[in-house]
């Protein structure tokens, strides 16, 4: 099944990339993907959006404020997690029905914070920042890969990511130099306020969170959100995590990404969506 691609904006402010089945969708709920730190909607557009649309899903990905082609890049350091949650609410309001939410890394934290305010038909957290925050990730990098932690701090200060840092942080499997350079041009700085929110200041209150059906996924060789941290997330919500072998943090871009997509598709169908 081929797909029609629509690039749209919400109030001319947020970039939303949509892939819609040419025929009527086979599934009644749309899917909204939320990217992680340093990224944008582009990380879903390359593989996940067309893959899910070919299987009859109406799928959308938003670039949070200051990311991708959304407005706010000049004010990035003024943005916090609550701003990103407001972006998510604004995007959801443009859709005909509440969507299934899929969040990666920081996007998973944004989805959890959204669930303090509203329900969702279902949620998938991919290598998500756990409810306990980023402190465990920072400590892990400090002891096992201090240079990577230094590089991340430099990027937050407005520096550009290095290709080597991207490879080490995001990918476990081999990646070509050309592909790595392509991603290097797309990644960007992240808001320091948002990072601090995810570390200490604005963590999810799990007692207040709506509990829709939830799938928690992680990667065996993730250097940012380790399998142990994925287990922390799953335990907080009373479910079992699923860890994909031989993969790194960028689960939607790694070789083997289709296994992740297929598991999400299978699980959503199991939920009757």
**What does the pLDDT read at residue 142?**
36
**Count of other CB atoms within 10 angstroms of residue 141:** 21
**What does the pLDDT read at residue 62?**
98
Our separate counts of H helices and E strands in the chain read 11, 8
**Of 97, 137, 64, 101, the residue nearest 209 (C-alpha):** 101
Q: State which CATH number among 3.40.50.720, 3.40.50.10490, 1.10.20.10, 3.40.50.1820 fits the domain covering 3-270.
A: 3.40.50.1820
**Of 15, 19, 16, 107, the residue nearest 69 (C-alpha):** 15
**171 has which bridge partners?**
none
- Tens of pLDDT along 86-104? 999 999 999 999 999 999 9
Rounded CA gap, 128 and 102, in Å?
A: 10
Residue 6 has pLDDT above 90, yes or no: no
**Count of other CB atoms within 10 angstroms of residue 213:** 17
**5 has which bridge partners?**
19
**What does the pLDDT read at residue 11?**
55
3-state secondary structure of 228: helix
**Count of other CB atoms within 10 angstroms of residue 237:** 18
Whole-prediction pTM: 0.91
Average pLDDT taken over every residue of the chain: 87
Rounded CA gap, 53 and 67, in Å?
A: 24
Pairwise pLDDT comparison (163 vs 119), residue with the higher score: 119
3-state secondary structure of 258: helix
Residue 139 has pLDDT above 50, yes or no: no
Give residue 170's pLDDT band: very low, low, confident or very high (50, 70, 90).
Answer: confident
Which phi and psi (to 5°) does residue 78 adopt?
A: -90, -10
- The secondary structure of the chain in percent helix, strand, coil, rounded to multiples of 5, reads 40, 15, 40
**Distances 243 to 6, 31, 77, 121 between C-alpha atoms, Å:** 33, 22, 33, 23
């Amino acid at each position: 099944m081929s797909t029609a691609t629509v690039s749209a904006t919400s109030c001319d402010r947020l970039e939303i990339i949509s892939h819609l089945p040419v025929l009527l969708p086979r599934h009644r709920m749309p899917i909204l993907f939320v990217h992680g730190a340093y990224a944008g909607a582009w990380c879903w557009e390359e593989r996940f959006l067309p893959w899910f649309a070919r299987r009859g899903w109406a799928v959308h990905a938003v670039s949070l404020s200051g990311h991708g082609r959304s407005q706010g890049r000049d004010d990035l350091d003024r943005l916090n997690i609550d701003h990103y949650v407001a972006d998510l609410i604004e995007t959801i309001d443009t859709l005909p029905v509440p969507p299934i939410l899929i969040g990666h890394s920081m996007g998973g934290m944004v989805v959890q914070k959204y669930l303090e305010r509203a329900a969702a038909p279902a949620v998938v957290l991919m290598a998500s920042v756990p409810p306990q925050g980023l402190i465990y990730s920072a400590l892990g990098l400090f002891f096992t890969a201090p240079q990577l932690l230094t590089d991340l701090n430099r990027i937050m200060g407005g520096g550009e990511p290095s290709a080597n840092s991207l490879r080490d942080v995001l990918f476990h499997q081999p990646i070509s130099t050309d592909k790595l350079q392509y991603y290097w041009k797309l990644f960007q700085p992240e808001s320091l306020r948002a990072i601090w929110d995810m570390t200490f200041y604005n963590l999810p209150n799990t007692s207040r969170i709506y509990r829709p059906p939830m799938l928690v996924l992680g990667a065996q060789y993730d250097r940012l959100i380790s399998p142990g941290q994925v287990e922390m997330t799953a335990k907080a919500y009373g479910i079992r995590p699923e860890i994909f072998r031989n993969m790194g943090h960028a689960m939607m871009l790694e070789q083997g990404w289709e296994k992740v997509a297929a598991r999400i598709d299978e699980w959503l169908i199991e939920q009757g969506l």
